[in-house]
Amino acid sequence: MSLRNIIREEISDFDWVKEIKLIPNEILNIDKYPPGDYKVWLGNIPKEQQLMILDHIIGVIESNDDLHTSSSVYSIRDGISDDSGYPNSLSFDIYPPGTAYKKKSIIVAMMAWYPKQEEDKDEVIERCRDYFDNHRDTVLNTVKPEE
């Protein structure tokens, strides 16, 4: 096998990179949003991007002594990592200090397709999108973060 064939095979292992979109700006600023209930639509994105987004959220929370979260963000990440769920939207409940926890809290939930339920992925994503559109949480990118 020539070096050229080896390189081609290894490059094809990274095809998922072509589908990666940037982490939405509103998630990059998750620690700067005022208390409230927010939602962000992710759509049907590759697993690697889902993990990047959750790792970013976890990193923001863990690197800030003034922030707290529940175990939900970690269990969501575990579910994606072991292929038991594919989120298409995330919900953030942001609580001020002294309400849910002593510190400002960012609690993450998700709507997702779970392949073990043997439902059609596109139908589940459409149903989740309908729920997302009709749910009263604020779309995260419509709110100005605090400075």
Is the Cα torsion angle 117, 119, 122, 124 positive or negative in sign? negative
Tell me the per-residue pLDDT of 102-133, one tens digit each, with 9 for 90 and over. 999 999 998 888 887 778 888 888 888 999 99
- Predicted confidence (pLDDT) at residue 8 exceeds the cutoff of 80: no
Tens-place pLDDT, residues 82-92 = 988 888 899 99
Residues 6+ apart with CB under 8 A from 131: 111
* Residue closest to 113 by CA, chosen among 126, 104, 103, 100: 126
pLDDT tens digits for range 15-65: 655 556 678 888 999 999 999 999 999 888 888 888 999 999 999 999 999
* pTM, full prediction: 0.78
CB 73 within 8 A of CB 108: yes
